[in-house]
Structure 1
Amino acid sequence: MICERDDFSLTGPLHLTSVDWANEHHRRSVAASLVQGIYVAERDRQLQREGPELALSPLWSEFFHFRLIRKLVDDADLSIFGGIYEYKPPQPSSGTVKSQELSPRFVIAFRGTVNKADSISRDIELDIHIIKNGLHTTTRFEIAMQAVRNMVASVGCSNVWLAGHSLGASMALLTGKTVARTGVLPECFAFNPPFLSPPIERIKDKRIKHGIRIAGSVITAGLALAKKATQQVSQNHRALPAPPDQFAALSDWFPRLYVNPGDHLCSEFIGYFEHRNKMEEIGAGFVERLATQHSLGGLVMDVVSGGKNTEAPVHLIPTAVLTVNMSSSRDFKEAHGIHQWWREDKIFDTKIYQYK
């Protein structure tokens, strides 16, 4: 029995018969569809839907003239967790040449958790690594990182897009952050990226919500200052130079984050960025500029690990283009789903946040 969500002809963006690469809705829809193609490719594998008559994944990319040229396979469970798509458009007309110049040549897409027996155990293991701030230590990340580095080195970052949903969004952000620190700034589409924090954004009373965030910022900034002072004493004792500011190094990279207020796994990105502006308004911007580089959970994990974990949590991002789905969702499943991001009947609000 075919699942409706896997069938492009039933749930895909059939309205996009012609893609305008300068159109944000079109770009978002194509990126989300390619990520869905990876989900379906893994379900094709598990359900043994092989060949042109049975496999459902190809249409999610071929409809937009993309071809899956490489599957990224996890070395632990052999599941398909990502893929590299190549764009092979038809000969453009004179009116679409400018649009085609904005298109990617390759898209590296990563799926999220698949609730099927052959992959759920490994996917949950990766989800736990995100919670523990250890995604960068996994072999799946190493495979993804190698693919991104090789592709960027081969064709240049301007020709490569990264895209992912949920767990895959964390993978896209982490690989993107890693290369961005070297000055390579790939386009990145992160759908429902996890933000590990208490769901403060769901508090209705704005004064209480703002008060909690201010208190959290003060505590986080205080702990961060204490950590920094300890590190400086150690560096001075060993005559070591101060380490580079890795957070500020990412300020020129603008990943595109797509979140839904009804999805508690990603909705905190809304408050994370809005709170910066509010702290600036009340004259406490210096506190937030320090607090925004850290998380309470990350600082605690750093203490537990004895300072060995030097990688910042994936969700700590200085700059972003944040798109919020303002339409109501029936339940969490819909709010966290990938399909919402190509729907024509949704209302989206986009804001740009830059770290200064």
Structure 2
Amino acid sequence: MASERESFDLSGPLHLTYVLWDNPYHRMSVAACLVQGVYILERDRQEKREGSDALAPPWWTFFHFQLLRPLVDDVDSSIFGAIYEFKPPSSQSNDTLYRSPRYVIAFRGTLTKAHSVSRDVELDIHFIRQGLHKTSRSNIAIQAVRNTVATVGDSNVWLAGHSLGSAMALLTGKTMAKDGNFIESFLFNPPFTSAPLEKIKDERVKHGIRFAGSVITAGLTIAMKAKQAKQQPKDLFIDPFTALSAWVPCLFVNPSDHICSEYIGYFEHRRNMEDMGAGVIERLATQNSLGSLLMGAFGNDSEPSEPLHLIPSASLTINVAPSDFKEAHGIHQWWKPDLRLDQKLYNYK
């Protein structure tokens, strides 16, 4: 049975009758709706809703997109992503289409339904263990983006995702950025694998914990880099974090969502460390997680896995309106008309 939130007519942004593509709120809302379209595509498949009974199409046709093709998981045959093509009306002038995409590739998050939940949870665990890049779903996603970019160029493509799908978009965006393709990306409630220190109310305690963590992480990073330098010629060693710094994905987080809220502290702590003259320490610490370094130091791997959730640069948008966890983690919040947002740009130096 369809829920109210699956219906665009009942819960979609009907107020967005005209999209200004250079307006950040409009761009955010459209990207979020295209992600919601992927969720409903999979729900349509599970509920066998076809033709006029399907609920997914309005989530993209309202904004003049067409579904080019769904992305299907090879393990459980669930739809986890979609490639959309923008088909604006001929009446629209080129001036109104400034900064609009030609294609959007969107990924959904975990669906707690019997037909897909086991595979989604398996991928959630892969993400936590820093192994999402080893899964077949990520290979399908990356290949789809590579093919699209090869056809139309990176400036004509958007990436979008929510929760687990945000992690998938982040992995794909990082992979493309390493090849010099910087894709505009909209990451809603991206998961951050760390203790939710943002829940600590005492700022001094919170800063003390972060500072101690940075010092330990920086020390381990120096040790691991020295180990790597012995294993490969100096002229072949390229810092992957610095190479990614030109890519600035848009992150959308809510402080009440412990899954993504740590991004707030991650970027703010970096700025605080710079202000107090400890930027050198933080530049080392910010690109590694303590957990991955310890696994690399004491595990069987000679080199720790690259932490997917850590990124050098970002445009961070925070929904500051108070809410419970379910609402704070939901995709629906990002197209509400009365949002209270705080936006900050962080560029890695």
Structure 1 residues 279 and 73: alpha-carbon distance in aligned structure 2, compared to 1, 3 A threshold: same
Query: Does residue 295 of structure 1 match 2:285?
Result: no
Please report how far the alpha carbon of residue 233 of structure 1 lies from its aligned counterpart in structure 2 after TM superposition: 2.9
Which SS does the other structure have where 1:314 is aligned?
A: coil
Query: Does residue 103 of structure 1 match 2:100?
Result: yes
The question of whether the paired residues in 2 share the 8 Å contact of 1:323 and 1:348 is answered with yes
Opposite residue 188 of structure 1, the aligned amino acid is S
> Please, which of 115, 119, 135 is the counterpart of residue 116 of structure 2?
119
Query: Does residue 286 of structure 1 match 2:268?
Result: no
The question of whether the paired residues in 2 share the 8 Å contact of 1:6 and 1:56 is answered with yes
The question of whether the paired residues in 1 share the 8 Å contact of 2:293 and 2:304 is answered with no
Q: Give the whole-Å Cα distance in 2 for the aligned partners of 1:160 and 1:305.
A: 39
Counterpart of 2:166 in structure 1 is 169
Counterpart of 1:152 in structure 2 is 149
Counterpart of 2:19 in structure 1 is 19
Q: Give the whole-Å Cα distance in 1 for the aligned partners of 2:303 and 2:19.
A: 43
> Please, which of 193, 207, 211 is the counterpart of residue 208 of structure 2?
211
Counterpart of 2:337 in structure 1 is 344
Please report how far the alpha carbon of residue 345 of structure 1 lies from its aligned counterpart in structure 2 after TM superposition: 1.6
Structure 1 residues 93 and 228: alpha-carbon distance in aligned structure 2, compared to 1, 3 A threshold: closer
Counterpart of 1:54 in structure 2 is 53
Counterpart of 2:245 in structure 1 is 251
* Long gaps (5+) in structure 2: none
Q: Give the whole-Å Cα distance in 2 for the aligned partners of 1:243 and 1:92.
A: 52
Instruction: For residues 155-199 of structure 1, give each alpha carbon's deviation from its aligned partner in whole angstroms, at most 9, with x where no partner exists.
Output: 001110000000000000110000101111010000000001001
Query: Does residue 130 of structure 1 match 2:127?
Result: yes
The question of whether the paired residues in 2 share the 8 Å contact of 1:33 and 1:61 is answered with yes
TM-score w.r.t. the length of structure 2 is 0.97
The question of whether the paired residues in 2 share the 8 Å contact of 1:232 and 1:242 is answered with no
> Please, which of 221, 224, 227 is the counterpart of residue 224 of structure 2?
227
The question of whether the paired residues in 1 share the 8 Å contact of 2:189 and 2:251 is answered with yes
Which SS does the other structure have where 1:247 is aligned?
A: helix
Which SS does the other structure have where 2:318 is aligned?
A: strand
> Please, which of 316, 330, 355 is the counterpart of residue 310 of structure 2?
316
The question of whether the paired residues in 1 share the 8 Å contact of 2:296 and 2:305 is answered with no
The question of whether the paired residues in 1 share the 8 Å contact of 2:72 and 2:79 is answered with yes
Q: Give the whole-Å Cα distance in 1 for the aligned partners of 2:79 and 2:282.
A: 40
Instruction: For residues 90-112 of structure 1, give each alpha carbon's deviation from its aligned partner in whole angstroms, at most 9, with x where no partner exists.
Output: 02445xx3230310000000000
Structure 1 residues 93 and 124: alpha-carbon distance in aligned structure 2, compared to 1, 3 A threshold: closer
TM-score w.r.t. the length of structure 1 is 0.96
Q: Give the whole-Å Cα distance in 2 for the aligned partners of 1:189 and 1:309.
A: 30
Q: Give the whole-Å Cα distance in 2 for the aligned partners of 1:289 and 1:139.
A: 33
Counterpart of 1:180 in structure 2 is 177
Please report how far the alpha carbon of residue 310 of structure 1 lies from its aligned counterpart in structure 2 after TM superposition: 5.6
> Please, which of 236, 254, 260 is the counterpart of residue 254 of structure 2?
260
Q: Give the whole-Å Cα distance in 1 for the aligned partners of 2:144 and 2:34.
A: 17
The question of whether the paired residues in 1 share the 8 Å contact of 2:292 and 2:305 is answered with no
Counterpart of 2:347 in structure 1 is 354
Which SS does the other structure have where 1:313 is aligned?
A: coil
Please report how far the alpha carbon of residue 308 of structure 1 lies from its aligned counterpart in structure 2 after TM superposition: 5.5
The question of whether the paired residues in 1 share the 8 Å contact of 2:295 and 2:304 is answered with no
Structure 1 residues 173 and 218: alpha-carbon distance in aligned structure 2, compared to 1, 3 A threshold: same
The question of whether the paired residues in 2 share the 8 Å contact of 1:105 and 1:159 is answered with yes
Instruction: For residues 287-345 of structure 1, give each alpha carbon's deviation from its aligned partner in whole angstroms, at most 9, with x where no partner exists.
Output: 0000001001221233455336664111110000000001111x211000000000112
The question of whether the paired residues in 2 share the 8 Å contact of 1:158 and 1:186 is answered with yes
Counterpart of 1:85 in structure 2 is 84
The question of whether the paired residues in 1 share the 8 Å contact of 2:22 and 2:98 is answered with no
Opposite residue 266 of structure 1, the aligned amino acid is C
Identity %: 62
Counterpart of 2:71 in structure 1 is 72
Structure 1 residues 109 and 309: alpha-carbon distance in aligned structure 2, compared to 1, 3 A threshold: farther
Opposite residue 274 of structure 2, the aligned amino acid is E
Q: Give the whole-Å Cα distance in 2 for the aligned partners of 1:138 and 1:125.
A: 10
* Long gaps (5+) in structure 1: none
Q: Give the whole-Å Cα distance in 2 for the aligned partners of 1:234 and 1:136.
A: 24
Please report how far the alpha carbon of residue 252 of structure 1 lies from its aligned counterpart in structure 2 after TM superposition: 0.6
Let me know the Cα RMSD of the aligned residues: 1.3
Opposite residue 38 of structure 1, the aligned amino acid is V
Instruction: For residues 72-96 of structure 1, give each alpha carbon's deviation from its aligned partner in whole angstroms, at most 9, with x where no partner exists.
Output: 00000000000000000102445xx
Instruction: For residues 105-125 of structure 1, give each alpha carbon's deviation from its aligned partner in whole angstroms, at most 9, with x where no partner exists.
Output: 000000000001010000000
Q: Give the whole-Å Cα distance in 1 for the aligned partners of 2:123 and 2:136.
A: 10
Structure 1 residues 288 and 201: alpha-carbon distance in aligned structure 2, compared to 1, 3 A threshold: same
Q: Give the whole-Å Cα distance in 2 for the aligned partners of 1:4 and 1:132.
A: 35
Q: Give the whole-Å Cα distance in 1 for the aligned partners of 2:235 and 2:98.
A: 43
